[in-house]
Chains A and B, each alone.
Chain A
Amino acid sequence: MSGVALSNETQRADGRGTNAVPRPLPEWAVRVLSLSGLLAFWWVLAWAKADPMVLPGPQTVLPRLGAEAMSGALWHHLGATLWRVAQAFVAAMSLGLVLGVLMGLLPRLNRWLDPWLVFFLNLPALVVIVLCFLWIGLNETAAIVAVAINKIPLVTAMMREGARALNGQLSDMAQVFGMSPLARLRHILLPQLAPHLAATARSGLSLIWKIVLVVEFLGRGQGVGFKIHLHFQMFDVTMVMVYALSFIAVMLAIETLILQPLERRARRWRDA
């Protein structure tokens, strides 16, 4: 209440109230307002273009989205894509974590592997995808491997930074007191890597689903990328947008309902 009283005083003092500090909106309200703004922007663009074949507005896309959801096709393809994202995500995060930590902790290994890392960081996603399909075949394994290979170097680079910043005194303490390797991993190593892991997971997820779409676009028979390819060939912009939007919604939900709460939990001790 003191904040309110103070701003009232400020208003009275200068007589205009321009210096009054407004109470900031809650996080969720900002998100909802901001996304509504995006929706309005889209609607205005569609209205100005006035050609639903080229840029359909929300009033065209949303009913089609509803119909696709009712038919069950939307869920089938969203599920297929999400499953690929999940597999590639787990593979890339775990391999990248191990590699990055090893490179961060062992300077000699890092000297030898760093050029490889630079090579793979600069390998275009499309090249990896095409080569995986050519070498492994047009199958699920190739799809997951291609996506994981694209993401592993990024995870490795970020985890290496995390491992380099590890607190040596804590490792000494753990050794002197004879903590088991598992206890050290859980209570010394992972809590220090948690902020890097969270940042990597968030950037990783958005990158991975974009690559999964390209993989599906090029060589899978189901999934969001496949549907976008299909409707692209039929020049059905509305359906392209239906699938793109629904998957963005899924990713937003994962970010809000899973990643952010996990990150908050890992940060609990900082805010205490």
Chain B
Amino acid sequence: MSLQVAIRAKRFGPTEVLRDLVFQVARGEVLAVLGPSGVGKSTLLRIIAGLDTGFEGQVRREGRLAMVFQEPTLMPWRSALDNLRLTTGVTAQQAEAALSRVGLAGKGALFPGQLSLGQQRRLSLARAYAAKPDILLLDEPFVSLDQALVADMLALTESVIAEQRPATVFVTHAQNEADRLATRQMVLAAQALA
């Protein structure tokens, strides 16, 4: 198992956002996490990523981790190529290949600010791709994009996942995106108020 999650409870002050969540994700599986906003989807993903350690329970991750964030989250002061190289440790040649994979061939020398929003999203996906992850976390990566771009990025993400077969956790609020990418789906429901 690449990813094992057993969360007993996660609280923000007196408010309990997550309780008794136990699941596993194997390589090649894509688990979609659905649910209304504010239900704790992003919190769950931050816990899985190791960014939030203030919870009861445990998370076991095996192998390399990569994440695609809601925002492209690039280093604006480094070139597209360096954004891949410096974060994942790949060679310039491998970074170049990752850029080609997402349709950004020849754009390696540009700064993120010189790329369109769609290209920045592709670069963010290329970074996750270049990392050759065992675990891939997607935090609503298609939110606030126009329909054409969503279709474009969905297809690209789908082919990248099919190629590398990481254990993927995909947080989204769009059922159609989940149906398209996921092998399993999990719906988070709001906790009943105590």
Contacts and interface: CB of A to CB of B under 8 A. Distances in A.
B65 A176 contact: yes
Contacts of A272: 110-111, 113-114
A172 B75 contact: no
Contact of A173 (B67, B76, B82): B67
13 contacts: A173-B73, A175-B51, A176-B49, A176-B50, A176-B65, A177-B66, A177-B67, A177-B87, A187-B86, A269-B77, A269-B78, A272-B111, A272-B114
A88 to B, nearest CB: 29
A169 interface: yes
Interface in B5-49: 46, 49
A170 B64 CA distance: 19
B98 interface: no
Contacts of B46: 172
A191 B67 CA distance: 22
B86 A176 contact: no
Interface string A209-234: 00000000000000000000000000
Contacts of B65: 176-178
Contacts of A188: 75
A269 B86 contact: no
Interface in A182-210: 183, 187-188, 191, 194
A191 B86 CA distance: 14
A170 B66 contact: no
Contacts of B114: 272
Which A-B residue pairs are the 4 nearest by beta carbons? A191-B77, A269-B77, A177-B87, A176-B67
A176 B46 CA distance: 10
B62 to A, nearest CB: 14
B73 A169 contact: yes
Contacts of B64: 178
Nearest to B88: A177
Given A176-B50, A177-B88, A179-B87, A269 B76 contact: yes
Contact of A175 (B50, B66, B78, B131): B50
A176 B138 CA distance: 12
Nearest to A179: B87
B87 A169 contact: no
B73 A177 contact: no
Interface string B56-72: 00000000111101010
Contact of B66 (A169, A176, A187, A269): A176
A174 B71 contact: no
Contacts of B86: 179, 183, 187
A196 to B, nearest CB: 14
Contacts of B69: 169, 172-173
Contacts of A183: 86
Given A177-B87, A177-B88, A269-B77, A172 B111 contact: no
Interface string B80-108: 00100011100000000000000000000
Contacts of B78: 187, 191, 269
A174 B87 contact: yes
Contacts of B131: 177
Contacts of A169: 69, 71, 73
A174 B75 CA distance: 10
